Structure 1
Amino acid sequence: MTLKKPDPSTLDLSDVDWQVSTFESGGGGNCIRFGRKGEWILISDSHNPDGPPLVFTKKELEAAILGAKDGQFDHLAGLG
């Protein structure tokens, strides 16, 4: 059974422990940040912490990570 993703504006994000990559992203600590709220994986812009996050399932994040490890998105960053 697939649960309907919540509207990000309905989530209480005050207790989310956000994580930012330790790899440099151009200075100023600006990077994509990741968090978890219950079963949902949240991704947002650390430069705009008050903006709404994108909401994903663990399987969606897993597919993205595996694709990145495989180099499928390297061209987006000018790496391939």
Structure 2
Amino acid sequence: MNDTPSIDGDPPPLIWRKSRASNASGDCVEIASLPDGGVAVRDSKNPQGPHLRFSASEWGAFIGGAKAGEFDSPSM
């Protein structure tokens, strides 16, 4: 990510990306790296809408939980 401020002093725009495993329907989330090491998350169908911001430690805990299966649907 380019951390160079723009001429007017605003932070640079975020660079959003989708997973390579995204489906063609476009129903995905996108993430962007933040200058402080955190991560922003948004709905790809609404790129101008709100986004969530997570610190590096929060994002790490989420990714660790996802890898460990903490968010898997319960078996029926």
How many residue pairs end up in the alignment?
Answer: 65
Unpaired segments ≥5 residues, structure 1? 1-11
C-alpha displacement of 1:38: 1.3
- Name structure 2 gaps, 5 residues minimum: 1-9
Taking only aligned residues, the RMSD between alpha carbons, in angstroms, comes to: 2.1
2:30 alignment partner in structure 1: 33
Q: TM-score, normalised by structure 1?
A: 0.69
Once residues 50 and 14 of structure 1 are traced to their aligned partners in structure 2, the CA distance between those partners, rounded to angstroms, is: 16
Higher helix share: 1
Q: Which runs of 4+ in 1 moved over 3 A?
A: none
Query: Which position in structure 1 is the counterpart of 2:66?
Result: 68
C-alpha deviation, 1:13, in angstroms: 7.7
**Match for residue 17 of structure 2?**
19
Does the C-alpha gap of structure 1 residues 18 and 59 become closer, same or farther in structure 2, counting only changes over 3 Å? Answer: same
Relative contact order higher in (CA < 8 Å, ≥ 6 apart): 1
- Report what 1:47 is aligned to: 45
SS at match of 1:34: strand
State the structure with more CA Rg. 2
